[in-house]
Chain A
């Protein structure tokens, strides 16, 4: 960091992440400081706050911090120190159609914060037994050299290095999923009794299981094996499809639900949100509902029209605060529909899936017709 006080704040945030302990006052204090830092150094965030009449010098509560819409990441490169940016990840562009992609910028300090966030979360929610064993991690994603702009691949590579054995590998090649190679690896693990962790995008697993189904393949993975799927179904009928997905994990991989965890990640954020089921099983306690906020993140549902925070159980759009987003705007307003509970949050779907009413044609419809 080029700014002394920014560097000090990053160090405090890093320490807070490493502690992994909930502390509401500490979170608030760091969030206020980070909001002011980003206000001072990210012109678009400053313009956004000013337009809304927000006074960052007079904050009383975390929820007063203006959240920048994810759309903003598509309009400009957002970073407190543009010269320090060393990595750029691209958003998938699911909302504005092809070509309408966003960029998420990382400095070295940001990458360090993201690494810490990945480690603390994965240790708790995916590898609670990491002290006893590493597993072979089979990744349904391209190798990092092939996909330098995919933040999910960055995170998965981190998991491979920290928690994987030398047998770990990436199985998405230039011409798609390398099923033969993956099947040989799965067979070998089954024969040797080596625990396997399969990780990948949810839709990648769907394709894999379609293929297994067509060819009558099943791999009863050794115990202590597990699955982590990321991203869900792009917001369409999430909950019902989750049930089917868990059935498939059990059917094709012999992985029971307490060893299958779903993760929600966003390119705009350094932190990820895991389900609690694997952690709860390992700690022999009841599973907490919904996606889990690490001590350095908060998720709210807000009213899409007023942008006011909604009580638990009320459906709105999700807003995340992620202190690991040191250099990028850390208060991010998504247009994902969902709700919170006292224990976590749920993502229900994307608004794109819903059609407009009435007989007035929309310009978007016309654009689709011409496509």
Chain B
């Protein structure tokens, strides 16, 4: 490897950390002259790191005003949004190389993640969940409770970070630090880059935080390493498949808060009235963004677009417009390189549609197989077909919201994000039904990939779930004595 090669650390150690044994580093070459450096994790090292940041959290974070933490997180977000992080290009290149997403997609992903992580967003999220965010700094008077309350974050948050969505690993950092909890983060194998880069960013913005964070990779499911971390954790935030989540919840000791985000699927509901000529292309462009973002690999991504038809033509009109829009977006946010297996799944999905059409079944492939790097399929067959993902979107014409409920009932428990394009009062009725079906977020098409911090992710108040309240009773409103 040439001397000029750029090494990027995929780990982050607190600056004052004394390892229990000599550290073993290894390098993984990525694209060009870039390589990723990782640490060899041992149970002793993981336990020592956990205890170290835990101690630092007690010394540093407990007394740190929430306002200062919000300010640091905001400054870090700005570094990434303005591309001022000193290692910005290397981090983007590394993420593109590891995840397979196009560079443009990685940049957009970082932008989306950090755009919704500004001070204003954080204050509103804190207010949304805690009422008065000062409850994280001190006992505050709660008139309804006729007493004081104080919210204490866990003494250590362990984050088992999400899959390959670039930069999403910053989310557990925000959740932990906003409740004054130090964090030990294990990045995922498919996006091991950003967590350490983000920790470096935070340490630049607020050097005291440098002692309260650690990032180290190990192979997910390694029980010796994970159990060493679980023993120390007051809260565990994990993302993963049903199998991963089940394994984690069976091993986290009782007493630790467990926040699991399993894999999910999203969809869109469009009312026929919204497919009129004046709105169609705009709607298609917004849907194309939702389907293209993260190459449809995120839990937020839509699998199906249900079109509640009136005259039997709206779904086909939308499919044609969406095909055009996805062609346009390919030039701005190109789809990443597909693995051979992903390409074969694509091929199978297209074959399935074309065979059905050749047999006279009510399906139609709108995208071209020889040229388009996406699939748009209009499918009236029942039951619903699986999407192969990677920008493969199925438009499903339906008679009404009742039919959508029926079609989706086999997938109950796996919903999360839903976009609705309809006007009141239809939109109210649709949202009401989808809420009961299990959706945890409703937005307009074009916003699916960009939830705000106010969102109750998977239906939970994510910050409040982290804390333990201490209620102080029997005080008679002598608030002035304390505040």
Any A CB within 8 A of the CB of B265: yes
Any B CB within 8 A of the CB of A356: yes
Instruction: Find out whether the CB atom of B264 lies under 8 angstroms from the CB atom of A363.
Output: no
Instruction: Find out whether the CB atom of A337 lies under 8 angstroms from the CB atom of B370.
Output: no
Instruction: Find out whether the CB atom of B162 lies under 8 angstroms from the CB atom of A359.
Output: yes
- Which B residues lie at the A interface, using CB under 8 A? 99-100, 162-165, 190, 239-242, 261-266, 294-299, 301, 303, 338-348, 351-352, 354-360, 369-371, 373, 384-389, 410-411, 414
Instruction: Find out whether the CB atom of B389 lies under 8 angstroms from the CB atom of A69.
Output: no
| A308 to B385 Cα, complex, angstroms | 26
Name the B residues within 8 Å of A192 (CB-CB): none
**Which of A75, A304, A335 makes the CB contact (< 8 A) with B355?**
A75
- Which A residues lie at the B interface, using CB under 8 A? 44, 46-48, 50-52, 69, 71-72, 75-76, 303-308, 315-317, 333, 335, 337, 351, 353-354, 356-366, 369
Name the B residues within 8 Å of A75 (CB-CB): 355-356, 359
Instruction: Find out whether the CB atom of A335 lies under 8 angstroms from the CB atom of B386.
Output: no
CB distance from A186 to the nearest CB of B (A): 40
- Which has the most chain B C-beta neighbours within 10 Å: A72, A305, A357, A369? A357
List 10 tightest A-B contacts by C-beta distance, closest first: A358-B297, A47-B358, A363-B386, A354-B341, A361-B263, A351-B344, A304-B343, A304-B347, A69-B351, A351-B341
Instruction: Find out whether the CB atom of B389 lies under 8 angstroms from the CB atom of A305.
Output: no
Name the B residues within 8 Å of A52 (CB-CB): 354, 369
**Which of B239, B341, B354 makes the CB contact (< 8 A) with A51?**
B354
Instruction: Find out whether the CB atom of B347 lies under 8 angstroms from the CB atom of A359.
Output: no
| A316 to B342 Cα, complex, angstroms | 12
| A51 to B359 Cα, complex, angstroms | 11
Name the B residues within 8 Å of A363 (CB-CB): 265, 303, 384-387, 411
Name the A residues within 8 Å of B369 (CB-CB): 52, 305-307
CB distance from A91 to the nearest CB of B (A): 15
Instruction: Find out whether the CB atom of B373 lies under 8 angstroms from the CB atom of A359.
Output: no
CB distance from B339 to the nearest CB of A (A): 7
**Which of A50, A315, A360 makes the CB contact (< 8 A) with B298?**
A360
- Which has the most chain B C-beta neighbours within 10 Å: A76, A351, A353? A351
| A308 to B338 Cα, complex, angstroms | 16
Instruction: Find out whether the CB atom of B345 lies under 8 angstroms from the CB atom of A351.
Output: yes
Name 26 interchain pairs, CB-CB below 8 A, sorted by A. A47-B358, A48-B358, A50-B358, A69-B355, A71-B355, A75-B356, A305-B373, A307-B369, A317-B344, A335-B347, A351-B341, A351-B348, A356-B345, A357-B190, A358-B164, A359-B165, A359-B263, A359-B264, A360-B265, A360-B296, A360-B301, A362-B388, A363-B387, A363-B411, A365-B263, A366-B411
**Which of B339, B351, B359, B386 makes the CB contact (< 8 A) with A47?**
B359
Name the B residues within 8 Å of A51 (CB-CB): 354, 357-358
Name the residue on B nearest A361 (C-beta). Answer: B263
Name the B residues within 8 Å of A364 (CB-CB): 386
Name the B residues within 8 Å of A69 (CB-CB): 348, 351, 355
- Given A359-B162, A360-B301 in contact, is the A305-B347 Cβ separation under 8 Å? yes
**Which of A304, A307, A356, A360 makes the CB contact (< 8 A) with B299?**
A360
Instruction: Find out whether the CB atom of B301 lies under 8 angstroms from the CB atom of A72.
Output: no
- Which has the most chain B C-beta neighbours within 10 Å: A48, A52, A356, A359? A359
Instruction: Find out whether the CB atom of B340 lies under 8 angstroms from the CB atom of A307.
Output: no
Name the residue on B nearest A334 (C-beta). Answer: B344
Name the A residues within 8 Å of B266 (CB-CB): 360
| 13 further A-B pairs in the complex, CB-CB below 8 A; given A75-B359, A335-B348 | A44-B355, A44-B359, A52-B369, A76-B359, A307-B369, A307-B370, A308-B370, A335-B347, A337-B340, A351-B340, A351-B344, A359-B263, A360-B298
